[in-house]
Structure 1
C-alpha cells in the first residue's frame, strides 16, 4: 500500500479530477491523505458539480436552477457520485495544513486541477506547494498532475538544479485548444463573467493564449516538442480531441495520458480514469 498526498485549494478544485483519482487509488489499496491551506475540508467548484451558472440565464436567481448547457459541461454522474463518497472519507474531513505536510511520510503526490481563478490561484501560486512538488521530483517520487495541476508542477523549481522540475520531461496538460474552446463558449453562455474558464488572462502586448496552461507549461520545458498532444495518426484522434467524450474505467479510448519515468500527466477530466489507473500502477 502506498501513501499518496493530494493537496487541494480551499475552494474551486475540479471535482472529477480529485474524486475519481481518490476512488481509483483507494480501490487499488492505496491510502490518500489531503492537504488544504488552513486544514479545513476543501470545496469543489460548485458549477462543475451542479451545472448552474453556465447558461445565459445563469445569473437569474430562479432560472439558474434549470441548467441546460451546464448539464453538458459539469462533472458526469460517476464523478459526482465519487465526489459524494470522497466527502465522507475521514481523511477528506480532516486534511493536513499545507505548511504541516511532512513529505517524507508520503510515497507519491497527485496534483488535481481546476480553472476558476477565485480559488485556484492560491494553489497554483503557493511557494509551499511548489517546494513540496520540487522535493518529490528531486527524490524521484511518483508524481501525477492533470490539467492545471501541471501548471503547479511547471512553476516548481528544483533545489538540486535551480531549474523547473519539468525541464527534461515530456508532459501534457490542459491544451490551448480545450481551454480556448471552453472560454469561447463561456463568453456567450456566461456573458456577465466571460472569463470563467481562464485562470490567467493575457496582459496588454501579450499574444493570444500566452497565459494559457499549455503555453506557460511549454515555457518551462527543455524543448517545445516536450509538450505532448494527441498525434494526428492516433486511431481514436476524434474521440480524444473533441472535448465531448470522457473515458471510463472500461474505456480508455477517449483518454490521452503521458508517462515519463516517475511522472504522469493528463489534460482534462475526460482523461481521469486512465490517468488515475496509470498512477495507481506506478505506485505498486
Structure 2
C-alpha cells in the first residue's frame, strides 16, 4: 500500500470527546508536519467535554493547562473546523487512524456508530496502523469481522481505560455528577475483555500513575489522558519507520 500524503485520521463525536486524548496527539503530529483530518458523524464541528476545560470537581480532574492550550489551538485549525462525515472516510487515504476517548454521554454517538465501525474494519483488514486510547478501544471491540464473527481485537493484546480508574473517578464524583463517569453500565475494561480471545490479553500497566502504552503489530493502545504523551510518541515512532 502506498500513500500520496502523510495524512492521519481522527474520528470524534459531535460533543464530549476527551480534550487531552485528542489535542496532545494532534499537537505532536502536526508539529512533525503530518496532516490531521477530523471526522464526525455528519460533518458537524465537534466540541470537547466542557467539564474537562473547567475542572470536573472543585476545578480538578479536568485537562491539564498544556492540553487546554493545545485544544485552543486545535479549534482554530482548518481541518478541525471542516470535518468530513464518517461515510466519506476512505481508509487508504491515511497512514494512521486514531480513536480517542471521552466518557460523558455524548460519546455514545461515536462509540455506537456502525458506519464508523465499517470504516475501522477496513483499516484493520488492510493492516494499517490503528491507535486507540481510553474509550476509543470500545470502537475496536465493537468492530466485528463478518468472516469470523469476532471482534477485530480477538487474538490481540490491548489496553484501555481500566476498571479501577473508571470506578475511582465515578465514586469520587457521583455525589455531584451522578453517572457522568459511567458511559455505560458495563465498565470499559469488561467490554473490551469480552471481545478478546483471552482475558489475559488485556494489559493494565505496572501502575495507574505510570504512563503506559501497548503495541501489538499494527495496533497501539493506551489507557487514559495520563498516557497521552507516550501514546503520541509511540505513534510518531511508528510513522517514521520505513514502509
- Class of the TM-score when normalised by the shorter of the 2 chains: over 0.9
Structure 1 residues 3 and 116, CA gap change in structure 2 (3 angstroms): same
1:195 aligns with 2:170: no
Q: Does 1:42 align with 2:42?
A: no
Which secondary structure does the structure 2 equivalent of 1:72 belong to?
Answer: coil
TM-score between both structures, scaled by the size of structure 2:
0.94
Structure label with greater radius of gyration: 1
> 1:50-69, aligned counterparts within 5 Å?
50-51=54-55, 54-55=56-57, 68=58
Which residue of structure 1 lines up, in the alignment, with residue 75 of structure 2?
87
For residues 30-179 of structure 1, the aligned pairs below 5 Å read 30-51=34-55, 54-55=56-57, 68=58, 71-117=59-105, 119-179=106-166
Higher strand share: 2
- Distance, in Å, in 1 between the alignment partners of 2:33 and 2:230 is 17
Aligned length: 236
Instruction: Tell me the SS of whatever aligns to 2:151.
Output: coil
- The correspondence for 1:279, drawn from 213, 218, 235, is 235
Which residue number in structure 2 is paired with residue 212 of structure 1?
A: 187
User: How far 1:120 moved relative to its partner?
Assistant: 0.6
The answer to whether the aligner puts 1:15 opposite 2:19 as a matched pair is yes
- Unaligned stretches of 5+ in structure 1? 56-67, 202-210, 232-236, 243-253
The answer (yes or no) to whether the contact 1:173–1:267 under 8 Å persists in 2 is yes
Describe the shift of the 1:26–1:160 C-alpha distance in structure 2 as closer, same or farther (beyond 3 A): farther
In angstroms, what is the RMSD of aligned CA positions? 1.2
Distance (whole Å) between structure 2 residues aligned to residue 27 and residue 259 of structure 1 = 23
How far does residue 260 in structure 1 lie from its aligned partner after superposition?
0.4
**For residues 210-240 of structure 1, what are the alpha-carbon distances to aligned partners after superposition, in whole Å with 9 as ceiling and x for unaligned?**
x100010000001000000123xxxxx4xxx
Kept in 2, the 8 Å contact 1:137–1:158? The answer is no
Structure 1 outlier segments of 4+, above 4 Å: none
Structure 1 contact 135–158 (Cα < 8 Å) conserved: no
Gapped regions of structure 2 (runs ≥ 5):
none
Task: Calculate the TM-score normalised by the size of structure 1.
Answer: 0.81
